[in-house]
Amino acid sequence: MRMKRTIWLSGALVDSQSAMIGALSPAAQFGLSVFEGIRAYRSEKTGALNVFRLNEHLERLFDSCSLVGFCSPYNMSELESIIKMVVRANDYRSDIAIRVAVFVDGEGSWTSSEPINLFVAPIEKCRSDILQLKALKACVSSWVRIGDNSLPPRVKLGANYINSRYAYNQAKAFGCDLPIFLASDGKLSESTGACIFLIKDGRLITPLCTSSILNSITRETVIVLGGEMGLLVEERVVDRTELYLADEIFLCGTAAELTPVGQVDQFKIGDGSPGKITLALLKQYHAAVSGELEQHASWLTPI
């Protein structure tokens, strides 16, 4: 594992091993930190490194800041320049993941809104290998997904992930790879760090943005790509039992890309291996992130 890594913290490029935030900071104690996980992919044809859907990630980061009452220390174009600078400083050869976090540093409580700090940390992370892909075993969690009137999932806030942690620990204890959340109305929501799609009779089905999910950028990308591939897309309220009867299921997210699910609770999905439509969509997703789809060139920001 590469140990030497340059990140951006407190307004400067620093070695990640010497980068410090306050032990008494609200970020450390209360998870008062909004963040984005962003990917940059190398084009297999040109070798260029491009950030995927950077604007959408930064817009969501600003929305998260606004809802938790933070004032971002940088505007969009400044953030874009910082991200490019820190990625270039690392000179990675592979695909990468970039974590961008705006958080409350210093000393304070959960009511504090300053001092606001920012880090940008790129690490090497390769795209998934379609030939090696395995379908995961999931279970419907007895933990309920956080909701818009309690801890809004639309905000990508560190503290929100503790809801995911409870469900993840339970899923692991039950011998599963991951949990699937229902929302407080008992309808399908999302997984711990990814949204969910079902495929049934050639239709691509996913819960609504109002079903206690993060407004996922990959979800929107899959909806566009699926439509272009001629699939009928249904964004709607989804019942739990629709999961059990699905032909295929996959999770989607910036980190997860498209991850097939082969079993939910005691029900096998299809033949339990990654589904054909899921794999075709993942192939198209990889084409998009690699800059092979001319119609989606605007999704890429060159470093």
Ligand X SMILES: Cc1ncc(COP(=O)(O)O)c(C=O)c1O
**Active site amino acids:** 156
Q: Is the CB of 41 or the CB of 108 nearer to ligand X?
A: 41
How far is 103 from 65, CA to CA, in rounded Å?
9
Inter-CA distances, 254 with 151, 186, 230, Å = 22, 26, 23
Footprint (CB under 6 A) of ligand X, residues 161-180: none
Which range binds ligand X by CB under 6 A, 188-196, 268-276, 281-289, 294-302? 188-196
Q: Is the CB of 116 or the CB of 146 nearer to ligand X?
A: 146
Do 140 and 190 touch, CB atoms closer than 8 A?
A: no
Q: Which residue has the tokens 């692991």?
A: 172
216, 259, 278, 301: which one contacts ligand X (CB under 6 A)? 216
Do 205 and 196 touch, CB atoms closer than 8 A?
A: no
How far is 91 from 109, CA to CA, in rounded Å?
38
User: Minimum CB separation from ligand X for residue 38, in Å?
Assistant: 8
Q: Does 100 bind ligand X (CB under 6 A)?
A: no
108, 122, 179, 253: which one contacts ligand X (CB under 6 A)? 253
Size of the site for ligand X (CB under 6 A): 13
22, 31, 37, 115: which one contacts ligand X (CB under 6 A)? 37
Inter-CA distances, 88 with 2, 53, 91, 184, 303, Å = 16, 18, 5, 44, 7
Q: Is the CB of 6 or the CB of 250 nearer to ligand X?
A: 250
How far, in whole angstroms, is CA 119 from its chain's centroid? 18
Q: Does 98 bind ligand X (CB under 6 A)?
A: no
Q: Is the CB of 37 or the CB of 106 nearer to ligand X?
A: 37
User: Minimum CB separation from ligand X for residue 35, in Å?
Assistant: 9
Do 144 and 184 touch, CB atoms closer than 8 A?
A: yes
Q: Is 244 helix (H, G, I), strand (E, B) or coil?
A: helix
Q: Which residue has the tokens 């929305």?
A: 63
* Sequence-distant (≥ 6) Cβ neighbours of residue 89 within 8 angstroms: 6, 13
Which range binds ligand X by CB under 6 A, 72-80, 104-112, 124-132, 187-195? 187-195
Q: Does 193 bind ligand X (CB under 6 A)?
A: yes
7, 68, 116, 214: which one contacts ligand X (CB under 6 A)? 214
Which range binds ligand X by CB under 6 A, 4-12, 70-78, 217-225, 240-248? 217-225
User: Minimum CB separation from ligand X for residue 220, in Å?
Assistant: 8
Largest CA distance in the chain: 55
136, 157, 195, 198: which one contacts ligand X (CB under 6 A)? 195
For residue 222, the surrounding DSSP H or E stretch is helix 217-228
The residue among 162, 247, 236, 161 whose CA lies nearest residue 201 is: 247
Q: Is the CB of 63 or the CB of 292 nearer to ligand X?
A: 63
6, 25, 90, 218: which one contacts ligand X (CB under 6 A)? 218
Q: Is the CB of 76 or the CB of 151 nearer to ligand X?
A: 151
User: Minimum CB separation from ligand X for residue 265, in Å?
Assistant: 21
194, 258, 264, 282: which one contacts ligand X (CB under 6 A)? 194
Inter-axis angle of helices 54-68 and 217-228, nearest 10: 140
For residue 59, the surrounding DSSP H or E stretch is helix 54-68
Q: What are phi and psi of 9, to 5 degrees?
A: -150, 140
Give residues in contact with ligand X (CB under 6 A). 37, 190, 193-195, 213-214, 216-219, 253-254
